[in-house]
Amino acid sequence: MYLEHFGLKELPFSLTPNTEFFLNMASYHKAYNMLMVSIAQREGFIKVIGEVGTGKTMLCRKVLNSLEDSPDSFVTAYIANPVLSPKGLFLAFAEELGIDVDVEIGHHSLLKRITAVLMQKAAEGKQVVLFIDEAHAMPEKTLEALRLLTNIETEQAKLFQVVLFAQPELDEMLQEKSLRQLLQRITFSYKLESLDREGVERYVEHRMGMAGYNGGTVFTSTALDDLFRASRGIPRVTNILSHKALMVAFGRGARTIDRFSMRKAIEDTEGVELPANPNFRQLAAASVLLGLLCLALIFYAVNYYL
In tens, the pLDDT along 22-45 reads 988 888 999 999 999 999 988 789
Residue-wise pLDDT for 192-243, tens only, equals 999 999 999 999 999 999 999 998 999 999 999 999 999 999 999 999 999 9
Q: How deeply is 234 buried, as exposed, middle or buried, from its count of CB atoms within 10 A (0-12, 13-18, 19+)?
A: buried
Distance CA 157, CA 40 (A): 12
CA 44 to chain centre: 22
CATH dotted code for 3-17+195-267: 1.10.8.60
Full-model pTM: 0.85
Q: In the chain, which residues fall in CATH 3.40.50.300?
A: 26-191
The DSSP H or E segment spanning 129 is: strand 127-132
Q: Which CATH number fits domain 26-191: 3.40.50.720, 3.40.50.10610, 3.40.50.300, 1.20.1440.130?
A: 3.40.50.300
- 186-191 β-sheet, strand order: 74-79, 127-132, 160-166, 45-49, 186-191
pLDDT tens for 260-282 read 999 999 999 999 999 876 554 45
